[in-house]
Amino acid sequence: MAEVLLFHHAQGLTAGCLSFAEALRAAGHVVHTPDLYEGRTFTELADGVGHAEQVGFPTIIERGRLAAENLPSDVVYAGFSLGVMPAQMLAQTRPGAKGALFFHSCAPASEFGGRWPTGLPLQIHTMDADDWGDLDIASDLVDAVESAELFLYPGDGHLFTDDSLPSYDESATALVKQRVLGFLDEFE
């Protein structure tokens, strides 16, 4: 069993984020899903991004840090798109991380201290034609991190793993979940 801290995307803690977390729980993992938006969700991605900009990305990251404060250090940090920011910050800066799962985006390692922790496993999942998917950054990160894997799925849907959104792709998400569960099973 792995313990996972999973952060939502810019549209908030949607039913689709919770559904994904529930699938991991059903496989026996402990999954925490903090609400970085204090209860707000958005039907349109642009509105969610606007809210994140209004709140401020440093505040979003700080809320993520606070969500991890009372958890053990040996967790897997995960995030969907916007949620990758606090997940990546914690994976790179909080000692004891077991792994990291980034869905739909990532940032350069330099954004959070410069280096990826030696030996820390990482999976990145994004669609190959997603304009928001940070494919160039993901490729650079995977090239620089020995323990990193990049999984590309055909299509251009940004939040394709969220079954409550129009961009949901059932077959791609099934493969994401299979790969993620294999990754998490390594920590049992």
Sign of the C-alpha dihedral, residues 82, 46, 160, 158? negative
Question: How high is the pLDDT of residue 49?
Answer: 94
Question: How high is the pLDDT of residue 29?
Answer: 97
d(CA 14, CA 20): 10
With 0-12 / 13-18 / 19 or more C-beta atoms within 10 angstroms meaning exposed / middle / buried, residue 63 is: middle
Name residue, tokens 């969700």. 41
Question: How high is the pLDDT of residue 132?
Answer: 83
The CATH code belonging to domain 3-185 is 3.40.50.1820
Output the CA–CA distances (angstroms, integers) from residue 139 to 100, 131, 151, in the order listed: 16, 14, 10
Question: How high is the pLDDT of residue 114?
Answer: 79
Walk along the chain (188 residues) in steps of 10 and give the mean pLDDT of each run: 97 98 98 96 94 95 96 97 97 96 94 90 95 87 92 95 97 98 91
Q: Taking the domains of the chain in order of start, what are their residue ranges?
A: 3-185
Beta pairing, strands 122-127 & 3-7:
unpaired
Question: How high is the pLDDT of residue 134?
Answer: 83
Q: What is the pTM of this model?
A: 0.96
To which H or E segment does residue 100 belong?
A: strand 99-103
d(CA 121, CA 103): 14
d(CA 145, CA 137): 12
User: Nearest 5 degrees, angle CA 31-CA 37-CA 38?
Assistant: 90
